[in-house]
Structure 1
Amino acid sequence: MIDLVSPLKAIDALVPGPIELAVSELPSLSPAQELARTLGADPTAVTALYTLVTVGRERVGSIVEEAKPLLLAAGRDLFDIGADFLRSAIRIIPSMFLPIPGARAKALAELSVLTFSALAQAKQRIDNLAQELAPLVLQLSKVGTEPVAELPPPVLEPTATPSAEPVFTPSSHETSSNAQGESAVQAALTQLGTPYVWGGTTPGVGFDCSGFTQWAWRQAGVELPRLAEEQTIGRPVAHNELQAGDLVVWDGHVAMYDGNGHIIEAGDPVSRNPLRQTNMGMAFKGYYRPTG
């Protein structure tokens, strides 16, 4: 009995299976933020961790998508190797029954060589696949272990009704002179790229959100309270009244309007982002203009 099934099973066992990425949705931050407000704590560290996990999930998903075509290509090649083996074996088998001395022995030898060759090709294809996947495996090994400062800016959680957020279009009076606000913005811009540090208040070393706005406005001669939700000092302003230096305040986060449709904030790192009213589900408190 000629065993053609075992080589085919061996090749089939090498075919990579499909990747199924089943990652449950992250829980809402709202309970943690509410608890922080109740206890008088700063929830910024929790939101930073939430962002880190969110970014990690997105990176894993992206890497998996890059791997899928490589796995599919390897599977097709292994199928072709098995099919070629079977076609060649079928051509050799009839010669085993020829009434010629030594025909059977010759055919068995050819089948043995054919089997060895097919399995060697299959193994080489899997080795090639491992080399192709090596850069992606390296990327996976770094997810969650890279320094926080090297991660992309925080991924913001949309509100239930994102369409309700106003679309900002700067107008001429919104970039008009506002000496203290402009001074605070200029100071803030010097800190772009500074890492996020919970409780941080040191320029060039690390800031948290409220430590950053407090430091920037201090350079303009105005002293702000330390916590984000307490920096609602001065006059509340409407969206269409925004000027450079005005604060954008949430329960647990604060940023500074730059006068040109963007905010400067201590994310990871300090960065300049489009003006928004959403921030990971936090309650938006409004816009405020500090006064000396």
Structure 2
Amino acid sequence: MRGWAQIVILAGSLLLQGAAVAQAVPASGYNQFMELLDSIQSGAVMPVADDTQVAARTSALPGGQAAQITAIARDLLGWPVVWGGASPAGGFDCSGLVQYVYRRAGIELPRTADLQFLVGRTIAPAALRPGDLVYFTTYEPGASHVGIYIGRDKFIHTSFSQGAVAIGDMNDAYFVKRYYGAKRVL
């Protein structure tokens, strides 16, 4: 419960910056929380970037969708983490990052981590390849956090503790304890 409270506080400070009154996160889950975030009129100033800028940097990537996915994800390292964010201009949450990266590589995925987990085939941890999706149980039961595996037990995800898209380590005690599964969509 403590972790959930920290996420709510961080999300509120990032999105609201005093421009609106924070509301409690609905008890019924992530989808309602996302709808609440969509309804908030925020005065937050975000970095200026758009799909065209990211496309320009990633349009001539080497062959293979896995290589494209990992290159696009690496290009987004350092972008801000924002609940409900799904673009460079608005920041990213975990599933928004995955959806955005995969879309840039020509693959459509659902918007939320739990729905993304229903896509693709299950992969054992020993069989992970770059571009696979790794899932963790964090703020609610089931697949509630997702990242893009890049090899050598590392993955790119949205790190609320760092406030940015970052590289995580599958061997970190936090992630080992919360590992939920992996999927291959490619």
TM-score above 0.5: yes
CA distance, structure 1, for counterparts of residue 3 and residue 176 of structure 2: 7
Return the match for 1:264 from 135, 156, 164. Answer: 156
SS at match of 1:258: strand
Are the aligned partners of 1:277 and 1:284 in contact in 2 as well (CA < 8 Å)? no
| Mapped partners of 2:30, 2:2: distance in 1 | 18
| CA radius of gyration, larger in | 1
Q: Which deviations, in whole Å up to 9, do the C-alpha atoms of 1:249-275 show, x marking residues without a partner?
A: 123211110123211011120011222
Aligned-partner Cα distance in 2 for 1:276–1:213: 21
CA pair 185-37 structure 1, distance change in 2 beyond 3 A: farther
Q: Displacement, 1:179?
A: 2.0
Instruction: Give the structure 1 partner of residue 133 of structure 2.
Output: 247
Equivalent residue, structure 1, for 2:77: 192
**Shift in alpha-carbon separation, 1:32–1:198, aligned structure 2, 3 A:** closer
Question: Which residue matches 2:114?
Answer: 229
Q: CA RMSD in A?
A: 3.6
- The residue correspondences of 1:1-292 to structure 2 (distance < 5 A) are 28-29=2-3, 39-41=28-30, 179-203=64-88, 205-232=90-117, 233-250=119-136, 251-267=143-159, 268-276=163-171, 279=174, 284-291=179-186
TM-score if structure 2 supplies the norm length? 0.59
Offset at residue 282 of structure 1 (A): 8.0
Kept in 1, the 8 Å contact 2:134–2:147? The answer is yes
Structure with more of its chain in helix, by fraction: 1
Count of residue pairs brought into register by the alignment: 133
Unaligned runs of 5+ in 1: 1-26, 46-148, 150-177
SS of the counterpart of 1:230? helix
- In structure 2, stretches of 5+ residues that fail to align are 8-24, 35-45, 47-62, 137-142
Counterpart Cα distance in 2 of 1:228 and 1:37: 18
TM-superposition CA deviations, 1:88-129 (whole Å, max 9, x none):
xxxxxxxxxxxxxxxxxxxxxxxxxxxxxxxxxxxxxxxxxx
Alignment-mate amino acid for residue 227 of structure 1 = T
> Contact 1:44–1:198 at 8 Å: present in 2 too?
no
Give the secondary-structure state (helix, strand or coil) at the position aligned to 2:151. coil
How many Å separate the matches in 1 of 2:32 and 2:181? 18
1:232-258 alpha-carbon deviations (Å, 9 max, x no partner): 211111111110111111232111101
Overall identity of the aligned pairs, in %: 33
Tell whether the 8 Å contact from 1:44 to 1:253 is kept in structure 2 after alignment. Answer: no
| Paired residues of 1:217 and 1:224 also in contact (CA < 8 A) | yes
Return the structure number with greater strand share: 2
TM-score (norm 1): 0.39
Q: CA deviation at 1:288?
A: 0.6
Q: 1:212 to 1:188 in 2, by over 3 A?
A: same
Any conservation in 1 of the 2:26–2:33 contact (CA below 8 Å)?
no
